[in-house]
Amino acid sequence: MPLYDRHAPGNGPLAGLRVIDLTRARAGPTCTRQLADMGADVICVVDPHRRYLGGSDSSNLQRNKRSMVLDLTDDRAREVFFRLADRSDVVVENFRPAVKDRLGIGYDVLAARNPRLVYASISGFGQDGPYAGRPGVDQIAQGLSGLMSVTGPPGSGPWRVGIAVSDTAAGTFLTQGVLAALLARERTGRGQWVHTSLLEAAINFMDFQAVRWLTDGEVPPQEGNHHPTVVPMGLFATADGHVNVAPMGRWEAFAEALGAPELATDPRFVDRGTRTAHRRDLDETIEARLATATTAEWVERLNAAGCPCGPVLAVDETFADPQVEHLNVFSMVPDPDGGELAVLRLPLTFSDTPASVGTGPVHPDHHSREILAELGYDPSEIEALAGPAG
């Protein structure tokens, strides 16, 4: 299967679809970025009263899209938006739940005009319920979902996950919802409203930690850098750094590769139950052995024995790693102020309709006149709506 080629963008699987992007911050733009990378024509509708943030984070979220400015509180601008929505397949928004209806652009209004429209929403806590009107950001969802209670060293108090995980999870779940709704439209001929929230996404990402409570009645504790239920699996110090070790195969093979074959017959460690019961003793024994050689030596030795093992890298080291380099995980795109910048690509490979990052980020008003012309406005109307050409 061919690898992604950042120098040869292709015709993605969503080519021919038009998406209106009303989103801001991170969760919503994550969804629309994924749709754009898969070939959809994503048009960002930007509020002129909001400050253009710029910077590397914004560039990574907003590349591969077109952009126009519309003040949706203005009647003329809202009519432009309606004309655009009538000709689009998807609208994505992440306002607080009441805002879209206050603006007069809620699902019922747009679906009455365009029954095939897929309307996609992200909120902090859901479209209704006691917290629906609250502002929501990633860290609030991390805390409310239980995620922070299972992160960090035992007994250390709650820890934030080091990435905006509820934002990216919600954005990715909404992408899945949009794709499923588009597929359903092929069968029914109708669009629909699909929505998620930061809170729902974060709880869903709790996965087996959540069902430890739901099914087993167990409140999961913090376990630091060790796996909560599989022993031994976790982070250990070496002679010059650290390794993550996951002895998933034959216990005897791991013990032999570790240079401690006696672990295979030690009654404290002979099966999963005994290893769990004597976890602290086992972790100390493994760490003592791993301290006798370098990270590189252990990565080579343990992987050769069929035991997953890997180093812990800083971000600059990650992008210098030979496997990461081989996978071409980023693309170079034009910077709106000149030059080039690097942005992450979609981590999917399609054999026939490759995803691509063909264009860089743009300034908010970059495509306003172009899109108005596509919508059938004549030059005098475009000048009235967008102002004279720059």
CATH class, range 242-311: alpha beta
3-state SS of 167-224?
HHHHHHHHHHHHHHHHHHHHHHCCCCEEEEEHHHHHHHHHCHHHHHHHCCCCCCCCCC
- Whole-number pLDDT of residue 338: 84
pLDDT at residue 186 tops 50: yes
- Whole-number pLDDT of residue 337: 83
- Whole-number pLDDT of residue 10: 53
- Whole-number pLDDT of residue 216: 97
- Whole-number pLDDT of residue 54: 75
Instruction: Give DSSP secondary structure letters for 251-317.
Output: HHHHHHHTT-GGGGT-TTTSSHHHHHHTHHHHHHHHHHHHTTS-HHHHHHHHHHTT--EEE---HHH
Helix (H, G, I), strand (E, B) or coil at 342: strand
263-274 pLDDT tens trace:
999 999 999 999
| CB-based contact 170:93 (threshold 8 Å) | no
pLDDT at residue 3 tops 60: no
For the domain spanning 18-206+325-386, the CATH number is 3.40.50.10540
Q: What are the phi and psi torsion angles at 325 (to 5°)?
A: -60, -40
60-93 pLDDT tens trace:
999 999 999 999 999 999 999 999 999 999 999 9
- Whole-number pLDDT of residue 5: 46
- Whole-number pLDDT of residue 307: 95
Q: What are the phi and psi torsion angles at 185 (to 5°)?
A: -60, -30
47 catalytic, yes or no? no
- Whole-number pLDDT of residue 389: 59
Confidence class of residue 358 from pLDDT cuts 50, 70 and 90?
confident
pLDDT at residue 365 tops 80: yes
313-339 pLDDT tens trace:
999 999 999 999 999 999 999 988 888
pLDDT at residue 299 tops 50: yes
For the chain, the structural domain boundaries read 18-206+325-386, 242-311
pLDDT at residue 161 tops 50: yes
Q: Are strands 90-93 and 66-69 parallel, antiparallel or unpaired?
A: unpaired
Catalytic, out of 37, 41, 89, 167: 167
Q: Give the pair of three-digit tokens for residue 341.
A: 């910048």
Percent of the chain with pLDDT over 70: 96
pLDDT at residue 167 tops 70: yes
